[in-house]
A = this chain, B = another copy of it.
């Protein structure tokens, strides 16, 4: 998707003053990802306007959360007691339209420690996202056995600033950027502080706890970190890996999203997410394509 000035504006993601046209004006993330069982590991799903990006296309992390729900349900049907997506990897092949789509799953293995499932989201019979899941069981409230990765400093949430898409109805999620690690919108598109790093708070309306499966959405909720370094067209995700390391405590999450090297037209983007008790709950990485300015 190319960058089009005017599709972004400086506000939070849940543009509450914009009524939905074909969907309810408010849609909670949990309400937005219902699955309709179709039998034999297949599920129907709706890709709503509330979880779209500029150009009326579904958000990649939203589709991943839907796939994750389907993977957990399919494994449970085969006797797995693994409700959490410990690891997921997804290839993005093309961007489907908003509206109905279908998910197909294959349970590869139901094990003692983990179960493994592949899942594909298709529209009109064509696979748009192809993902694999390793499912397991995390313990609520547990502390790491070893290692630490404390959250970076962020300004208090009420001093942080939004960055969102226009013409999109509210979806009950907010992304609020640390002013020193935010993007600004200019006539040529978004730009940042040049560090390649964005920091933001993520919260659900009412600060309810984000579930492990919903963390798949959070892991790809940020705008491209490359915008902090170079203005380009939109930066499509080619492949996304997300590890869910812990069950989040209630309250807002903190996200650090950064690119480290832009090379030969590809950029890595690393996402880390901490819960309100300073525990690392997500480690994610993606590789993106970007068309660099020449000369």
- By a beta-carbon cutoff of 8 Å, the part of chain A in contact with chain B is 86-87, 89, 91, 93-94, 108-109, 113-114, 116, 118, 127, 130, 132, 134, 136, 138-139, 142-149, 196, 229-230, 238-239, 241, 243, 245-246, 259-266, 268, 280, 283, 285, 287, 289, 292
Contact = CB atoms under 8 A, between A and B. Distances in A.
A127 B144 contact: no
A144 to B, nearest CB: 4
A93 B109 contact: yes
Stoichiometry, as copies per complex, reads 2
A192 to B, nearest CB: 12
B146 A196 contact: yes
B283 A268 contact: yes
Given A146-B262, A238-B134, A241-B241, A108 B127 contact: yes
A86 B268 CA distance: 11
A91 B108 CA distance: 10
Nearest to A245: B263
B89 A265 contact: no
A132 B134 contact: no
Nearest to A246: B263
A100 to B, nearest CB: 21
A287 B147 contact: no
A134 B87 contact: no
A83 to B, nearest CB: 13
A245 B265 contact: no
A150 to B, nearest CB: 11
B241 A285 contact: yes
Contact of A147 (B91, B114, B262): B262
Contacts of A229: 146-147
Contacts of A91: 89, 108, 116, 118, 132, 134
Contacts of A196: 146-147
A136 B290 CA distance: 13
Of A134, A149, A287, the most chain B CB neighbours within 10 A belong to: A287
21 contacts: A86-B266, A89-B239, A91-B116, A91-B118, A91-B134, A93-B108, A116-B238, A134-B238, A143-B263, A145-B292, A146-B196, A147-B196, A147-B229, A147-B263, A149-B261, A243-B266, A245-B263, A245-B266, A261-B280, A283-B285, A285-B285
